[in-house]
Amino acid sequence: MRYVIRQSLCKRLQVQEGPFAELLLLGSGSFSQPALDRPLAGTGAGPGGGAAARARAASSWAGPAMAAEPPGARGFYRQLPKVELHAHLNGSISSATMKKLMAQKPDLQVPHGMTMIDKGKRRSLEECFHMFQIIHQITNRTEDILMVMKDVVQEFAADGVKYLELRSTPRDEPTTGMTKRTYVEAVLEGVRQCKEDGLDIDVRFLLSVDRRGGQIAAKETVKLAEDFLLSTDGVVVGLDLSGNPSAGHGKDFLEPLLEAKKAGLKLALHLSEIPNQEEETRLLLGLPPDRIGHGTFLHSSSLASGDLVQLVRQNRTPLELCLTSNLKSQTVLSSDQHHFGFWYNLGHPIVLCTDDKGVFATDLSQEYQLLADTFRLSKVQIWEISYNAINCIFASSHTKTKLKEQWHQLKTSVLE
């Protein structure tokens, strides 16, 4: 199927005509013109005003200012032991791994800009989800999933991540014979091989429910997660609800999520990722979830949503916060406006995460540096954020204790 980005769409995306506009892919799907006419979150931009608003937003953020950092600053963030709890497998594929995948699929000609958003660039949230559809076409075999899993884990380990929870939606690919079950098995084989290789990282896995799949697919994923929960000795720890937040409604997933919770699966739910979802958020908070992904608009100034903050605070539900992701997908307009500041000032449990390190061209060390630069946090404060993240993991109390001991052993050398 040929993906054709017309000249008018190229202008709206602010890209040059050429390879990007003549992308050839095997499979199905297309870019949605109506999606690009929707107002950008937080900008009030709609038809006729979107280009100007996008230009203002793009010029307002060009990534963290690296030039002024003191000598050794980058080294501190790399040496800092870290916990990563919100990372989508297919969104975490690095450009190096993408090149390896593409070398095995010469018929697919995918420009760099279709799988990664470079520093200083932005896309709407809707466009980001189109990027994931393209990535899924590149990872359509179990051997692809195994390669991706191993590379992603190795890259997180190289970045100083000591505990990692990856998440992904199991997929059937009739053209290659990959099933949802063999998809998960490939992920778990990647975990096993990384452990066998002696990597200094503890890896767990959450099965994701894609909102676009509806209730039937959600129930299938829950059943699969229950099976692997009982057979993987603690590697499969929970369930994630994610995907395009505009698709479906939370009430459609309430029953399968309750079933998952009853079975002992932990729940990490993307909530309030876009504005005006108070009803859905209130419903899903009633489960309650064990962690919240993004929660970008939980603290809206709307009086009607004030109770959402109270519900989250009352349950001490940790938030998984992803700065670069929110900036590049334009749900937050500038780093200093990020909702980290709101929750941090309340002393609420928060975990800094990457979301999709490949797509957003970041890593967890860079996220910590951006956080420190934006909110003027000291090394000690950064250390405390990293250490407190251990309390939010889905693994056992024994694992938490081991990680805290590891942090204590490293503290003096990292902070000196």
User: Any idea of the CA torsion for 94, 95, 98, 104, to the nearest 10 degrees?
Assistant: -140
pTM of the model: 0.81
Whole-number pLDDT of residue 10: 34
Rounded CA gap, 287 and 238, in Å? 14
Per-residue pLDDT tens digits of the chain, which is 416 residues long: 322 222 333 333 333 333 222 222 223 333 232 232 323 233 333 323 333 333 333 333 333 333 344 545 679 999 999 999 999 999 999 989 988 988 888 777 665 555 444 455 555 555 555 666 778 788 999 999 999 999 999 999 999 999 999 999 999 999 999 999 999 999 999 999 999 999 999 999 999 999 999 999 999 999 999 999 999 999 999 999 999 899 989 999 999 999 999 999 999 999 999 999 999 999 999 999 999 999 999 987 554 557 899 999 999 999 999 999 999 888 999 999 999 999 999 999 999 999 999 988 899 999 999 999 999 999 999 999 999 999 999 999 999 999 999 999 999 999 98
Judge whether 142 and 152 are in contact, CB under 8 Å.
no
- Give me the residue label for tokens 């709206």: 12
Whole-number pLDDT of residue 135: 82
State the SS3 of the chain: CECCCCHHHHHHHCCCCCCHHHCECCCCCCCCHHHHHCCCCCCCCCCCCHHHHHHHHHHHCCCCCCCCCCCCHHHHHHHCCEEEEEEECHHHCCHHHHHHHHHCCCCCECCHHHCCCCCCCCCCHHHHHHHHHHHHHHCCCHHHHHHHHHHHHHHHHHCCEEEEEEEECCCCECCCCECHHHHHHHHHHHHHHHHHCCCCCEEEEEEEEEHHHHHHHHHHHHHHHHHHHHHCCCCEEEEEEECCCCCCCHHHHHHHHHHHHHCCCEEEEEECCCCCCHHHHHHHHCCCCCEEEECCCCCCCCHHHHHHHHHHHHHCCCEEECHHHHHHCCCCCCHHHCCHHHHHHCCCCEEECCECCCCCCCCHHHHHHHHHHHHCCCHHHHHHHHHHHHHHCCCCHHHHHHHHHHHHHHHHHHHC
Active site members: 273
Rounded CA gap, 200 and 271, in Å? 32
CA 5 to chain centre: 26
At 232-278, the pLDDT tens digits run: 999 999 999 999 899 989 999 999 999 999 999 999 999 999 999 99
Closest CA to 281 of 260, 266, 299, 263: 299
At 177-214, the pLDDT tens digits run: 999 999 999 999 999 999 999 999 999 999 999 999 99
- Spatial strand order in the sheet of 291-294: 82-88, 161-168, 202-210, 236-242, 266-271, 291-294, 319-321, 350-352
**Cβ-based burial of 92 (10 A; exposed 0-12, middle 13-18, buried ≥19):** buried
Q: Who contacts 103 (Cβ-Cβ below 8 Å, separation ≥6)?
A: none
Beta bridge partners of 317: none
User: Domains in the chain, start-ordered, CATH in brackets?
Assistant: 76-415 (3.20.20.140)
Q: Who contacts 68 (Cβ-Cβ below 8 Å, separation ≥6)?
A: none
Rounded CA gap, 317 and 315, in Å? 5
Structure tokens at 259: 């079933």
Closest CA to 202 of 44, 398, 6: 398
Judge whether 12 and 51 are in contact, CB under 8 Å.
yes
Reading phi first (left if > 0) and then psi (alpha if -120 to 50, else beta), residue 160 is in left
CA 136 to chain centre: 15
Rounded CA gap, 257 and 281, in Å? 14
Closest CA to 334 of 23, 26, 64: 64
